[in-house]
A and B are shown apart, each in its own frame.
Chain A
Amino acid sequence: MKYVDEYRDGKLAANVAQEIRRIQTKPWVIMEVCGGQTHSIVKHGIDYLLPEGIELVHGPGCPVCVTPLEMIDKAHAIARRPDVIFCSFGDMLRVPGSDGDLFTIKSQGGDVRIVYSPLDCLKIARANPDKQVVFFAIGFETTAPANAMLVYSAKQQGAKNVSVLVSHVLVPPAIAAILGSPQNRVQAFLGPGHVCAVMGYSEYEPLSRQFHVPIVITGFEPLDLLQGILIAVQQLESGRAEVENQYSRVLDRGGNKSAQELVFSVFQIGDRKWRGVGMIPASGYHLRPEFAEHDGELRFEVAQIDTRESEICISGEILKGNKKPHDCPAFGKQCDPQHPLGATMVSAEGACAAYYTYGRHLKPEPDELKLTSISSAGAA
């Protein structure tokens, strides 16, 4: 498939991996920020192609994972209401709150729908004028334009029965929080390609300078990731710390200006709590006051919700790159995607769930696979 197969070429991958091996002289810890990158690394086994001294740690960039439990409980309380059609991206449905997940609520009669585009909510609202349509607007900067477009259009069209429950978070403040932590181990970052397709990467430059850390804006296919790692190792080995753009086929320094304008016409920056990490100042989006009539949190009175997180779960340490899923005593035992104890297991792109989905709870390091006998009879 065009634009996919080229970036999954085994020979090219081996070449890039070889080049990484050739130039690497010291051990380095590199964090991929985005959950989509974690997923791709584990799915394609990219970490197994790297020399031993290169350690990949998995960052906080899974928006479903870092959505606070209180917010999920709030969403569930709204979704249970008989007058509500609750719309969400698919992977939010299995995230458990204090009492079940959205699938459970659906099985109990709640009207919960998966949408692929937030704008679908407008169609649903028009078809159901006697219902309140609520969209769970979560995500990083990547989903912000589409979510902003829903709010903007709802106001324009006077769609009074549309509201959003906003839990938007931002990447640069999270990187700053990780780098500012005294336990920090991360020496370079693979920056989030999709986020930067919207926002550009100029806002990463001060971070790179302040903490003297290489940040390589990277795509999601195997070769993107390997090349991103190679660029990061080149910088680390030569003592440089810059923002470099591996994903230049998609984005440039300025990003998508019209998307940014839309986002800032609807949202403003404010503090946000991150599941597993805690409060990070100025790390998320909130609706601007002029869109208050579409704010689901204001529209539905939801009583104060008390939540308790598991005491064994180490997801906070995993999100900061200090630990890996296998360091957790509960990983694959008390904690699996069916019974997640914390942030990194709740969504497919969380590090623990990705490790679990790709069978790494069964064995940490797969042995050498011998496939020579079937290679000749392979594809027709």
Chain B
Amino acid sequence: MTQSATGRPTEQKDDSQGSTGDEASLIFGSCALPIFEHKQIVLGHGSGGRLTADLIEKVFLPAFANPVLNKLDDQAVVEINGARLAFTTDSFVVTPIFFPGGDIGRLAVNGTVNDLAMSGARPLYLAAAFILEEGLLSDELQRVVESMRDAAQQAGVALVTGDTKVVNRGKGDKVFITTTGVGVIDGNVEISANRARPGDKILLSGYVGDHGMAIMSQRENLEFDGAIESDCAPLNELVNAMLDVTKHSDDCPVHVLRDPTRGGVATTLNEIAARSSVGMVLDETAIQVRETVQGACELLGLDPLYVANEGKLIAVVNPSVADAVLSRMREHRLGKHASMIGEVVADRPGMVRMKTAVGGTRILDVMFGEQLPRIC
């Protein structure tokens, strides 16, 4: 569930919006380094929430700032000799390494494929680096590798280079995998978290929270009626189908694509709203949660909107193509349960609001750190 902290987007909130995030500004090139107040790294720094954003803003960005990185998308898009390449990397550390609906190998391939696909790129090549813990069963490694092979085949990518290191027993957790990928962006495709515009419709490709709750139910030995399976899947084919609808339009009407992994749908939408300086209004009844996932979340006091997904995408699209894109999504097996969950608005930039099922109003903020099970 926890992946690398780098390469993940974050946000910068404008003080004038009344935001209460840390006010340390992100002035690239100025010599004052932002203050990172934690003396030690805590688990929340890998949660994908506000603490992760803090780490990126105050430690990584000041060191590496450049125009490509500063866009803070899930992938970098670079131009080489007129060709646009999407380029990304992601580390995978998950306990247990095998879980219902997937395993660390499948996750490592699909995670990077999806980060590429979210720029509209055709993923082509992957590299994989393995950190193995002394004592790992060879059979387990074999299963992980075979699963990666199958996932790569399914996604249509080739694993073309790699590396292996072994660390002492106790210095790792069975296996850590880092995958790096490149893909090519074709034609008019222009997708970035800063392209959401007022009036755009927000589409979600299916049920939320499956992956996070599958991992949690395994990790904590929680037994629910009806196992919860991870939704881990490569999304590039679904993205192709969506872009096929709009390939003859000018100005790429699919404005934003994001896979709501760590931090879940709520955190991802907040990032898009902040990056595009727009507001969002959601309809809670349009966001679908499986009964088992909902039940597990109720039991633990967790909010499915903040739980990780590994095979879902959020699309922000021009209203003129929204219905066409949505119906094409529903024709694809990974988008069968897609729905239109809300729209982009001009007011309250950076704020995501939701009309609740009972008719009240709720503001969805960025998750702070890890979601914690509640006492009662």
- A interface list, Cβ under 8 A from B: 1, 4, 8-10, 13-14, 17, 36, 42-49, 63-64, 89-94, 103-104, 106-108, 114, 116, 138-140, 142-143, 194, 222-223, 226, 332-333, 336-338, 348-349, 356-363, 366-367, 369-371, 373-375, 377-380
Contact = CB atoms under 8 A, between A and B. Distances in A.
Contacts of B295: 1
Please indicate which of the listed interface residues A45, A94, A370 has the most CB atoms of chain B within 10 Å of its own CB: A45
Given A1-B294, A363-B348, A371-B283, A48 B44 contact: no
Contacts of B336: 380
Contacts of A138: 375
Interface in B301-320: 301, 303
B22 to A, nearest CB: 8
Interface in B339-376: 339-343, 347-348, 351, 353, 355-365, 368-369, 372-376
Contacts of B32: none
Interface residues of B, number: 60
A92 B340 contact: no
Interface string B292-304: 0011001011010
Contacts of A349: 374-375
Contact of A369 (B286, B294, B303, B353): B353
Interface stretch (B35-43, B83-91, B113-121): B35-43
Given A45-B360, A223-B358, A349-B374, A357 B365 contact: yes
A362 B365 contact: yes
B43 A374 contact: no
A47 B340 CA distance: 27
Please indicate which of the listed interface residues A8, A108, A142 has the most CB atoms of chain B within 10 Å of its own CB: A8
Contact of B376 (A142, A332, A370): A142
Please indicate which of the listed interface residues B43, B295, B341, B361 has the most CB atoms of chain A within 10 Å of its own CB: B361
B244 to A, nearest CB: 20
Contact of A89 (B337, B347, B360, B375): B375
Contacts of B163: none
8 contacts: A46-B360, A108-B40, A116-B373, A222-B356, A357-B365, A369-B361, A371-B343, A380-B330
A377 B326 contact: yes
B281 A359 contact: no
A374 B363 contact: no
B133 interface: no
B206 to A, nearest CB: 9
Contacts of A103: 42-44, 369
B50 A338 contact: yes
A370 B20 contact: no
B20 A374 contact: no
Given A1-B291, A45-B362, A369 B281 contact: yes
A63 B376 contact: yes
A4 B376 CA distance: 16
B20 A380 contact: no
A44 B288 contact: no
A377 B339 contact: yes
Interface string B43-65: 11000001100000000000000
A267 to B, nearest CB: 17
A380 B372 contact: no
A231 B298 CA distance: 26
A24 B207 CA distance: 41
Contacts, number: 177
B19 interface: yes
Contacts of A94: 369, 372
Given A336-B20, A374-B342, A380-B339, A114 B362 contact: no
Given A366-B353, A379-B285, A380-B338, A107 B40 contact: yes
Contact of A375 (B283, B298, B348): B283
Given A47-B360, A371-B343, 18 more contacts: A1-B291, A45-B359, A107-B41, A114-B373, A138-B375, A139-B375, A139-B376, A222-B358, A348-B301, A348-B372, A358-B365, A359-B365, A362-B363, A362-B365, A369-B353, A371-B281, A378-B286, A380-B337
A48 B362 CA distance: 10
A373 B351 CA distance: 19
B42 A359 contact: no
Contacts of B281: 369-371
Contacts of B361: 45, 48, 366, 369
Contacts of B20: 332-333, 336, 356, 361-362
A77 B41 CA distance: 20
A10 B365 CA distance: 23
Contacts of A46: 358, 360
Contacts of A380: 288, 330, 336-339
Interface string B1-33: 000000000000000011110000000000000
A106 B362 contact: no
Contacts of B222: 116
B288 A362 contact: no
B46 to A, nearest CB: 12
A45 B356 contact: yes
A375 B285 CA distance: 9
Closest 3 CB pairs of A and B: A45-B360, A359-B363, A90-B372
Please indicate which of the listed interface residues B283, B326, B364 has the most CB atoms of chain A within 10 Å of its own CB: B283
Contacts of B340: 374, 377-378
A374 B286 contact: yes
B201 interface: yes
Please indicate which of the listed interface residues B17, B303, B368, B375 has the most CB atoms of chain A within 10 Å of its own CB: B375
Contacts of B79: none
B288 A379 contact: yes
A115 to B, nearest CB: 9
Contact of A49 (B41, B301, B339, B358): B358
B134 interface: no
Contacts of B294: 1, 4
A340 B213 CA distance: 29
Contact of A378 (B43, B283, B356): B283
A321 to B, nearest CB: 21
A145 B43 CA distance: 31
Contact of A379 (B303, B339, B358): B339
B229 interface: no
A44 B286 contact: no
B220 interface: yes
A194 B376 contact: yes
A9 B281 CA distance: 20
Contacts of B298: 1, 4
A357 B341 CA distance: 21
B323 interface: yes
Nearest to B283: A371
A337 B356 CA distance: 24
Contact of B375 (A92, A222, A363): A92
